[in-house]
Amino acid sequence: MQTTRKARAIGVLLLTAGVVATLTGCSGSTGGGSNADSGTYTFWDPYPQYDASSDWAKLIEQCGTQAGVTVKRTGYDTTDLTNKALLAGQQRNSPDILLVDNPVVSTLADAGILTDTTDNGLSTGTIAQNILGAGVLDGKTYGVPIGANTLALYYNPKVLQAAGVDPASIKNWASLDDALAKVKAAGKKGITFAGINTEEGSFQFLPWFWGAGADLTKLNSPQAIAALTLWTNWIKQGYAPNSVIQDTQTTSWQEFQTGEFAFGENGTWQKASAAQMGAQLITIQTENGGPAPVPTGGEFFTIPVQKDAARYKTSAKIVECLSSGDNIVKTDNTLNYVVATQSGQQAQLSTDSTMKTWVDAVGVAKARTGDNLGTKYPVISEQLWTAVQKAESGAASPTAALAAAQQAVDAKLNK
Amino acid sequence: MSKVDTNATASRTLSAARNRVGAVDAASTRGNRSRARRQAQWVAWGFIAPLVVYLVLFYAFPLYKNIDLSVRHYTVRSFIDGTAPFVGFQNFTEIFTSSTFWPAMVNTGIFVFVSIAFQFAIGLALAVFFFKHFRLSGLLRALFLVPWLLPLLVSASTWSWMLNSDSGIVNAFLEAFGIGQINWLTSPHWSLVAVLIANIWIGIPFNLVIMYSGLQSISADVYEAASIDGANGFQRFWRITFPLLRPVTAITLLLGFVYTLKVFDIIWIMTRGGPATSSTTLAIWSYQLGVGSLLPDFSSAATVGNVLIVIALIFGLAYARVQRRLAA
């Protein structure tokens, strides 16, 4: 009897040991490996499309050499990168330099993964404040932008001409509506945009939301309702196809590319494709006229927390090399970004005058997580895109949808 | 369910090993006996160990983690520094009082029951049809398996193209009959119907295959006897096929229930649970909360996940009860 019990006890012990060993084996895997070699600096970016032979990879290598170190670069898919960065932070194994999408910066900073400029000594120099905004949380700056992209209204000159619309006549929402009515009367399709229930939907709605004078801290304001009513009416009146409710920026662009649409709200990244199909560009207008504030997109260079604080100095040197002077102009031209400094923008315009509308748009752009919203932004944005969906699909009126959204935001943020 | 089954098998193996060794025991001396016994214990443990390790690693631990997550306020910050304050049932209260809860429950209910009803009815009808073994029946039956073999990403994307409001083939077809544009995926009234159609189509082969193999286990003698007694086709189906298929039916329905309850990919690809919450099921909601936005809310997602587990468990236990009664 006793031997049985002993054997059983040993068995249980062995099992537990086995389980524990396996479990710890799982979590012991290496992440960034930044401390593998003090002369090697790790760099993560969301550009898996660039391999070792690309200009981007060569530039990083060159900046590393200038700082006297070797840089080991890894490119991840954008969504993958956030998770990878969080995991690496959890294992105290973050890369030395991390290039992430700007709305993620405040989330990572809030999680305590990133160092701010007072810790890492990174100079923010002459970077435009409105672009830098996405990296600022509670007065601390957590990184510098690689550049900025944003939204504008592409138009198809052939369609507008056939409908007898002069693009220069579009000065506010009323004249845009008139233009859409004329296009529809001419038998063409009006406008396409991404009204999907994801961050892309909020991103595309913000120029109209801000353009009405609405504020993200009050989703149910009359201005917000006016903006959502504008979108909803486009769908109701047949100016926009029903599919915009599900369109991403890519699928909405594909619709615009059919040549049937007069307008397509889309980003800097479609510049080359637009030129190919002969599309032109105007800035998005506010309700009463004038360029509307558009949200900035684009990545930020950040310097994650390391065990060895002495590494920050070199990391900052590499980031400064990558984000300033001719280097950044060259990089931003390949990435279709607008440079974040005025001198850089001038340099960009001198080589490519078609960037003018984009530089203007970026000049009045706003960071989504700016106004010190930080990690409140994701909560607000989720409710905003939900409200947009409800109104677009007719599940609720713009007023009711936005009222419910604000209520949900209040409930979540006061938790 | 399967966990309970495998546990039972394991303990049976254990006692069988013990018995076998017991028989050898009788012929040996006392010293040898205790050594042999100890050895037998080790052997028994050796047999059961892989299973226990597997169960603990892949079932018990994740389940424990999920429950633990749902009673804490786990944020991105907790992910890094490991501190997540214990909040008791606060997450559950929030989920139950959320404006998404009832729509998600109702949608899940409709999605599961309508899916299973149609999948089962059509699957059974096709199984009976193919059981007749006509020419090319083998080939046709194989073709019916295609929806099952296709990756869900492919079939769901194809359905969402076909059901597109402006350029989908389904609307083009309906238009030929004078039916106006139906916004399958973008109308709050139709989105659940659209994902149901796709899910039923995908689920038919599974039901067909299981019911078909169930039919093969019914002895031809029974039908022969019935036809001698003058039973017609309907009577043969209703009085022989259907009752004799009952055990297979029960397991098909239970598996179908569990599969459908956790369906995620089809809905996510076709409608993302939208517009608004019109096609949001519990599985979709859990994902939306967890990783659907820029700021992950792991605790709420885990809470919804636990609600799903409880629902599946209730039906699983009900199934076990019914099985036991049938066996008795």
Where along chain B do its domains lie? 3-58, 99-327
Q: Identify the weakest region by mean pLDDT among A16-30, B84-98, B266-280.
A: A16-30
CA distance B187 to chain A (A): 5
- With tokens 């900073």, the residue in question is A109
Identify which has the larger pLDDT, A169 or B31: A169
Check pLDDT > 50 for residue A32.
no
Q: Do domains A2-149+299-353 and A151-294+375-413 have the same CATH topology?
A: yes
Query: Beta strands of chain B (E only): which ranges?
Result: none
Q: What single-letter DSSP state applies at residue A293?
A: P
Find out whether A40 and A314 touch, Cβ atoms under 8 Å.
no
Task: Look at B41 and A15 and tell me if their CB atoms are within 8 Å.
Answer: no
Task: Look at A90 and B276 and tell me if their CB atoms are within 8 Å.
Answer: no
Q: Mean pLDDT, to the nearest integer, of A141-167?
A: 93
From the list A14, A107, A393, the residue facing B294 with the nearest CB is A107
Check pLDDT > 50 for residue A18.
no
- Mean per-residue pLDDT over chain B, rounded: 85
Interface of B with A (CB under 8 A): 34, 37-38, 41-42, 45, 49, 52-53, 56-57, 61, 73, 76-77, 79-81, 94, 99, 164-167, 181, 183, 185-188, 271-276, 278, 292-295
A246 vs B contacts (CB less than 8 Å): 185-186, 271-272, 274
Angle made by CA atoms A270, A272, A275, in degrees to the nearest 5: 105
CA distance A254 to chain B (A): 13
Q: pLDDT band at B295, cuts 50/70/90?
A: confident
Please state, in angstroms and rounded to a whole number, the distance separating the CA atoms of residues A410 and A218. 10
Structure tokens at A184: 């529809």
Q: Name the 3-class secondary structure at B117.
A: helix
Q: pLDDT band at B2, cuts 50/70/90?
A: very low
Task: Look at B34 and A404 and tell me if their CB atoms are within 8 Å.
Answer: no
In chain A, residues 363-382 whose CB comes closer than 8 Å to chain B: 375, 377-379, 381-382
Task: Specify the pTM.
Answer: 0.80
Q: Does domain A151-294+375-413 have CATH number 3.40.190.10?
A: yes
B94 vs A contacts (CB less than 8 Å): 415
Give the strands of the sheet with A189-192, arranged side by side: A189-192, A261-267, A151-155, A280-282
Partnered with residue B282 across adjacent β-strands are none
Check pLDDT > 90 for residue A91.
no
Instruction: Summarize pLDDT for A328-371 with one digit per residue, the tens.
Output: 898 888 888 999 988 899 999 988 888 888 999 998 999 898 87
- With tokens 């959320």, the residue in question is B98
Q: Which residue of A has its CA nearest to B76?
A: A111
Please state, in angstroms and rounded to a whole number, the distance separating the CA atoms of residues A342 and B221. 90
Q: Mean pLDDT, to the nearest integer, of B252-280?
A: 89
Share of chain A above pLDDT 90, in %: 54
Superfamily of domain B99-327: MetI-like (1.10.3720.10)
Q: pLDDT band at B302, cuts 50/70/90?
A: very high
Please state, in angstroms and rounded to a whole number, the distance separating the CA atoms of residues A140 and A114. 11
Find out whether B219 and B283 touch, Cβ atoms under 8 Å.
no
Please state, in angstroms and rounded to a whole number, the distance separating the CA atoms of residues B216 and B241. 10
Domain spans, chain A: 2-149+299-353, 151-294+375-413
Task: Look at B272 and A197 and tell me if their CB atoms are within 8 Å.
Answer: yes
Q: What single-letter DSSP state applies at residue A67?
A: T
Q: What pLDDT shows up at residue A375?
A: 82
Find out whether A374 and B290 touch, Cβ atoms under 8 Å.
no
H or E segment and range at residue A255: helix A249-257
B274 vs A contacts (CB less than 8 Å): 197, 245-246, 389, 393
Nearest to A101 by CA among A138, A50, A33, A148: A148
Identify which has the larger pLDDT, A240 or B82: A240
Q: What pLDDT shows up at residue A9?
A: 54
Task: Look at B294 and A104 and tell me if their CB atoms are within 8 Å.
Answer: yes
Share of chain B above pLDDT 90, in %: 41
Interface test with B, best of A91, A389, A409 (most B CBs within 10 A): A389
Q: What pLDDT shows up at residue B1?
A: 40
A360 touches chain B (CB under 8 A): no
Interface test with B, best of A197, A258, A368, A376 (most B CBs within 10 A): A197
Q: Mean pLDDT, to the nearest integer, of B130-136?
A: 84
DSSP per-residue codes, A176-224: HHHHHHHHHHTTSEEEE----SSHHHHHHHHHHHHHTT-BTTBTTSHHH
The segment with the largest mean pLDDT, out of A11-25, A303-317, B232-246, is A303-317
Find out whether A260 and A217 touch, Cβ atoms under 8 Å.
no
Fold (CATH) for A2-149+299-353: D-Maltodextrin-Binding Protein; domain 2 (3.40.190)
Structure tokens at A221: 């304001």
Partnered with residue B250 across adjacent β-strands are none
A374: left (phi over 0), alpha (psi -120 to 50) or beta: left
Please state, in angstroms and rounded to a whole number, the distance separating the CA atoms of residues A114 and A97. 10
Phi, psi torsion values for A293, nearest 5 degrees: -65, 130
A392 touches chain B (CB under 8 A): yes
- Mean per-residue pLDDT over chain A, rounded: 87
Task: Look at A382 and B34 and tell me if their CB atoms are within 8 Å.
Answer: no
Find out whether B72 and B85 touch, Cβ atoms under 8 Å.
yes
Instruction: Summarize pLDDT for A213-253 with one digit per residue, the tens.
Output: 999 999 999 999 999 999 999 999 999 998 899 888 988 99
Please state, in angstroms and rounded to a whole number, the distance separating the CA atoms of residues B184 and B164. 7
- With tokens 């969906």, the residue in question is A389
A201 touches chain B (CB under 8 A): no
